[in-house]
Structure 1
């Protein structure tokens, strides 16, 4: 299998009208992990995909990337710099997360829309934390390529992004742990998994994909007060 140009999904998935119309936006954050507090983003990237007949989901030309200035309680640490290459100087003049995510939220393609991320709870928690700045993203389902890989290829020893890139022959990006590079390989992984799933009749529609490979966004769930 040529994983850089994965085979297009066929069968029932290709026959699903919603699959043809859905915009998939692959998303990745790089962030800090302050002690006793949730992660804070220091970089975000997004890349749009949409189905083309006979070729599967392909990049649409929509892309977005920005560095983000973290809040004072979550500064970039030497560990963060060692992992991502992003330094305090890099983000010194960057806008804060609320500004960046509001801009990305307003630039998203029109619905129907699904977000895509690997190990989506990380992206989901950041979007929920900044839900007032990015209400569209915070209320949009995220397809988790980790869950999709478990559905398509059960029993693997690891479902980390690096392990799945190796499993499906997808080359490592030049700058692993930079947001756009990770988005780019996650996009290839998504197309690879969809091709595998469709050929094995493991995914029949977008509704089926959502059911087996996503979690409901926290922003759409009722609060405790709403339940009373």
Structure 2
């Protein structure tokens, strides 16, 4: 894969408060440039949700109401998040979820496209028994030594997803081949369906 042909792209991960629809409690965005993870320009934010974090969500990511009570509200950080995301492509694992939640919190945001490492993994490794982020980390074994934190925190999960993306991208010759299998239908960046053959 010629990574220099890639458009601007950030791998994102969000964590929520456990309600439906969720309030955000954490966002991370990690640029990938020339096939390398650019941690020097990454962004990570904690935010106090409007509604309390549910006990289940707190057990998953460890972000309790007490931990978040002095963090800024979403409106205080929304412009920073929007500025970093810009109009770049984004990538996430099970990207429909992250895209939907970010779009609800940033109505004016319009990414160029959305890559999904879950969809990409199913195309790249069709015989794996599971495609959760944990299962892919175990099977592909990306180098996570340079990341901090823990699983189910946004910074860690974005870093792991980015490493998986770069690893899987090497199975494809071009950017167009990659997006043909990695962009969920109906999301920004999805290739236009080919014209149907006609009689004349």
TM-score computed with the length of structure 1 as normaliser? 0.72
Matched residue pairs, number?
A: 184
- Structure 1 equivalent of residue 158 of structure 2: 183
* SS of 1:103 mapped into structure 2: helix
2:109 aligns with 135
Paired residue for 2:56?
79
Q: 1:147: how far off?
A: 0.8
Q: Work out the CA distance in 2 between the residues paired with 1:118 and 1:100.
A: 23
Which structure carries more relative contact order (alpha carbon 8 Å, separation 6+)? 1
More strand by percentage: 1
Supply the distance in 2 between the matched residues of 1:68 and 1:217 (Cα, whole angstroms).
Answer: 26
Q: Partner residue of 1:3?
A: none
* Displacement of 1:17: 6.0
Matched, 1:58 2:33: no
Q: Does 1:31 align with 2:16?
A: yes
Unaligned runs of 5+ in 1: 1-12, 52-56, 198-202, 221-228
Q: Secondary structure at the match of 1:93?
A: coil
Partner of 1:43: 26
TM-score (norm 2): 0.82
Distance in 1, Cα, partners of 2:70 & 2:33: 34
Q: How far apart are the structure 1 equivalents of 2:59 and 2:109?
A: 32
Residue 1 of structure 2 is aligned to residue 18 of structure 1 = no
Residue segments in structure 2 that go unaligned for 5+ positions in a row: 191-200
- Judge conservation of contact 1:68–1:97 (CA < 8 Å) in 2: yes
Task: Give the Å deviation of 1:98.
Answer: 4.0
